[in-house]
Amino acid sequence: MRIALASDHAAIELKALLRDWLIEMGHEVADLGPETTDSVDYPDFGYKLAEVVADGTAERGIALCGSGIGISMSVNRNPKLRCALVAEPLSASLCREHNDANCIALGARLIGVDMAKACVTAFLETEFAGGRHQRRVDKLSNPNC
């Protein structure tokens, strides 16, 4: 799977660990930055991540910042993105199954590496259920549906 990752300065370490792990798992990974712990603005990286998922360059996105809150808000500014902030695997699975999430956000200051990997695994392995959920997902991008 083609996966894009982006973070702010607070999540550099977790992003690097997840990037390397995903590559080991056989995924094609695009690390959209940043590369250092110098202070950056999370919206810049959230917007960049949203753009590559929206245009199909990446199939899924993983957004990270200190809490996961700010970067998820910036990703969700793009009407083609459905980014869910998750902290455990059940939410990561349900956001795919019921909401067809194409991005998850993780809070690097709030989640450990093993839990982050469990969330990513659930997110990548769960299929969208469709059916009654489809009309709701359609309304996320077009409220007039």
Known active-site residue 133: no
Q: Is the pTM of this model over 0.75?
A: yes
Instruction: Give residue 143's pLDDT.
Output: 67
Structure tokens at 108: 């690097």
Inform me whether the pLDDT recorded for 141 exceeds 90: no
pLDDT tens digits along 116-135: 999 999 999 999 988 889 88
Rounded Cα distance, 26 and 132, in Å: 33
Domain of residue 14, CATH code = 3.40.1400.10
Nearest to 78 by CA among 16, 4, 141: 141
Range of the domain at 103: 2-141
pLDDT digits (tens, 9 = 90+) for 70-119: 999 999 999 999 999 999 999 999 999 999 999 999 999 999 999 999 99
User: Which two three-digit tokens encode residue 29?
Assistant: 């990974």
Question: What is the rounded distance in angstroms from the CA atom of residue 18 to the CA atom of residue 45?
Answer: 17
- Output the CA torsion 69→63→56→92 (10° steps): -80
Number of domains in the chain: 1
Q: What is the pLDDT of residue 132?
A: 86
Is 83 in the active site? no
Using DSSP's 3-state secondary structure scheme, residue 76 falls into coil
Binding site per annotation, positions for D-ribulose 5-phosphate: 8-9, 66-70, 99, 109, 132, 136
Q: What is the mean pLDDT of residues 15-36?
A: 97
